[in-house]
Amino acid sequence: EKGGFEHFMLKEIYEQPKVIKDTMSCRIASDGEQIQFEELNWTPEDVKSIGKIMIVACGTAYHAGLLAKYFIEKLARIPVEVDIASEYRYRDPLTDSKTLCIVISQSGETIDTLAALKEAKRRGARSLAITNVVGSSVSREADQVVYTWAGPEIAVASTKAYTTQLVALLLLALYMGRLNGHLTADREAQVIRDLQRVPDQCRNIFDHAGDIKELAAKIKEKEDIFFIGRSMDYGLAMEGALKLKEISYIHAEAYAGGELKHGTLALIISGVPVIALATQQDVEEKMISNIKEVKARDAYVIGVVQEGDTEVRKTIDSVITIPRSDNFVLPIMTVIPLQLLAYYTAVVRGNDVDKPRNLAKSVTVE
Ligand code: M6R
């Protein structure tokens, strides 16, 4: 059932090209130029009447929500708030009938996410669930559902569920942007073209799995590891840190590059690994300054950059490259080496990769 792989997690990482394709292909019109969501069937007025979007989720699904804020705000210009479900529930949130509440949940059974959805509905919000499990509690509770079609995810550490959530959320942002008039047809077609290349490009990343395994061997004895990034790469830094903590049990923290000087830099001493995500062109220069700040304290920097980069690599110790793509599409690929790094680190440390200590696949108690 593991299809020849040593663990479910690795199998699920390698399934990503296929499931990414499954998630998007049914939503791309046959001319390849437009996004369609038959299950939503929204009109321009439906989208224009949304005053604000509230995204609520837990763990990895919450991290997908952080990226969705960039997708939706930039492509559809609708304000987006992202909240952890267990916080949202108890903070008397500003949610009303002009709010669209999007809940994201792989299992569709996470108790806090389900309760947050009920709370949003009680306050009059419209609701949309992004979930992987057909007929799950969340899918039954929400007004509308977008399925991620990732297939069953067995490993506790979420991988393919996350990338397909990113795909679904990016498609949704494109769809809303066209309907409310903020996105040109050309821009939409351009992002779709890059999205369609992702499944093949993922295989490119897998070709370098051996290098990532070597990096895992280098960091395996470390006690603290930092992930830094800016804009969408910051959200990915959080996901990379979570994955590493969850299965390797190494303490990891994610920081927005610009926040280092506000405290965390004090922890950067000789040899501390810093994974610097620097794929986003518009903030590249700023990331380079942040990398220099940690290099000046003799950190060991692993940079994640787009293929063809010449500048970032001058400042780092080891490099992981991601195939070139649109800014919005890149995160779907950038996370894959982070998943592999967490995986191989957990394996060399002899951990139970698929069933990490103290954790359950689906959190149905508070
Ligand atoms: O099923 P859900 O997407 O609602 O689960 C949410 C989190 O429990 C889940 O993503 C968790 O953070 C993962 N184990 C992370 O890999």
Sign of CA dihedral 253, 289, 271, 302: positive
Q: Would the CB of 105 count as within 6 Å of ligand 1?
A: yes
Q: Is the CB of 166 within 6 Å of ligand 1? A: no
For residue 112, the CA-to-ligand 1 centroid distance in Å is 11
Query: In angstroms, rounded to a whole number, what is the distance separating the alpha carbons of residues 197 and 186?
Result: 17
Q: What is the ipTM of this complex?
A: 0.99
Q: How far is the CA of 58 from the centre of ligand 1 (A)?
A: 6
Q: Residue 107 C-alpha to ligand 1 middle, in angstroms?
A: 8
Q: Cα(366)–Cα(254) distance, rounded to whole angstroms?
A: 25
**pLDDT at position 362, please?**
87
CA of 361 to the centre of ligand 1 (A): 7
For residue 80, the tally of other CB atoms under 10 A from its CB is 20
Q: Give ∠ CA 27-32-33 in degrees, rounded to 5.
A: 95
pLDDT at 366: 82
pLDDT of residue 284: 94
Q: State pTM to two decimals.
A: 0.97
Nearest CA to ligand 1 atom 11: 59
Burial of 196 (0-12, 13-18, 19+ CB in 10 A): middle
The residue contributing the CA closest to ligand 1 atom 16 is 157
- Grouped pLDDT means (10 residues each) for the chain, 366 residues: 95 98 96 95 97 98 98 98 95 95 97 97 98 97 98 96 98 98 96 97 96 97 97 98 98 96 91 97 96 96 96 96 97 98 98 93 86
CA distances from 215 to 110, 131, 319 (A): 34, 33, 10
291 touches 301 (CB < 8 A):
yes
How high is the pLDDT of residue 365? 83
CB distance 157 to ligand 1 below 6 Å: yes
pLDDT on residue 249: 97
pLDDT of residue 226: 97
Q: Which residues contact 269 (CB under 8 A, 6 or more apart)?
A: 297, 298, 299
- Ligand 1 neighbour 196 (Cβ under 6 A): no
- Residue 182: C-alpha distances to residues 27, 37, 98, 175, 308 (Å): 20, 18, 19, 10, 31
Residue ranges of the alpha helices (H) in the chain?
A: 8-14, 16-25, 44-48, 59-76, 85-88, 111-122, 137-141, 160-179, 185-206, 209-219, 232-248, 284-295, 330-348
Residue 361 bears catalytic tag = yes
The pLDDT, as a whole number, for residue 258 is 95
The pLDDT, as a whole number, for residue 77 is 98
